[in-house]
Structure 1
Amino acid sequence: MQKITPFLWFDNQAEEAAKFYTSIFKNSKINAVTHYGEAGPSEPGSVLTVEFELDGVSFVALNGGPTFKFTEAISLQIACETQEEVNNFWNKLTADGGAPSQCGWLKDKYGLSWQVVPTALPRLLKQPDAEKANRVMAAMLKMTKIEIAELERAAA
């Protein structure tokens, strides 16, 4: 069991969101759904929490009502080996009301922020040639979805 589990607050879409996320990531599943009882505060029988895994990482989604919203102050980062993988996650997470942002960031249709980052980016930024690393950073800062080929051209 992992010691720290991200806990995501939704208005009333916890189960819908968990199903959406588990449909996107391999090795993912919903483990448990709990429901509100007579004590409330929501309608008895409505979903309280959903425990789920995304590629082996545990999460809990809560239907806590409209009090709190997601912000970019917290995001989930996806490490991608290939451009195909970047494109796949990017397209699925921006679908149906998601919104792209800058430098590989996006918000999904629930307002949760994600960073879709190719593993090539940190590798190219950490290289010993500072001039090349600066060109990679400058190229990345102009991007919405990160393009590996453009980063590699900048590093050449």
Structure 2
Amino acid sequence: MAIAKNTICLWYEKDAEAAARFYAETFPDSAVLAVHRAPGNHPSGKKGDVLTVDFTVCGIPCMGLNGGPIFPQSEAFSFQIATEDQEETDRYWNAIVGNGGQESACGWCKDKWGLNWQITPKALTEGMAAGGAEAERVFAAMMEMGKIDVAKIEAARRG
């Protein structure tokens, strides 16, 4: 197995393997690559417990570390998943929120392990990138949403 030059390390209290398996089932180009067990006792577990999990999320190399409760996830880190349409937006949003997660604002939600996700339709990204009055309208529409409504974003883009 080749070792990636840069890997995102995500700290979990104890469920890195379950989280990685959920991501692999939910997102394309995602997989659990390896599960590594602790070779000895450590502050948050014992010998033989799952210590790290190597996985990918949409092709991005990640490592889940079961490090205990000392460092919880926060909104300071999130995965932003670009979606093509409302159907894809709904599928990912509903998978995360419906599996013990929480809704938030402006396309953000949190999975049951505390990891934050931005489920972002390309229409929103393109509307914001357009700048000027179009971006202002898109931004105002987004600020009133939890899950992004693609039809409302497209209407805001048109004015």
Give the TM-score taking structure 2 as reference length. Answer: 0.92
**Deviation for aligned residue 1:39:** 4.6
Aligned identity (percent) is 44
Structure 1 alignment gaps of length 5 or more = none
1:36-75 aligned within 5 A: 36-41=38-43, 42-75=45-78
Q: Which of 12, 19, 31 is residue 10 of structure 1 equivalent to?
A: 12
Secondary structure, in 3 states, of the residue corresponding to 1:22?
helix
Runs of 4+ in 1 over 6 A off after TM superposition: none
Mapped contact 1:24–1:92 kept (Cα < 8 A): yes
Give the TM-score taking structure 1 as reference length. Answer: 0.93
Q: Which of 136, 139, 150 is residue 137 of structure 1 equivalent to?
A: 139
Aligned pair 1:82/2:85, yes or no?
yes
- Give me the CA root mean square deviation: 1.3
1:87-124 deviations in whole A, cap 9, x for unaligned? 00000011132001000001111110000001111211
Number of corresponding residues: 155
Secondary structure, in 3 states, of the residue corresponding to 1:53?
strand
Paired AA for residue 25 in structure 1:
F
Structure 1 CA distance, aligned partners of 2:92 and 2:141? Answer: 21
Structure 2 alignment gaps of length 5 or more = none
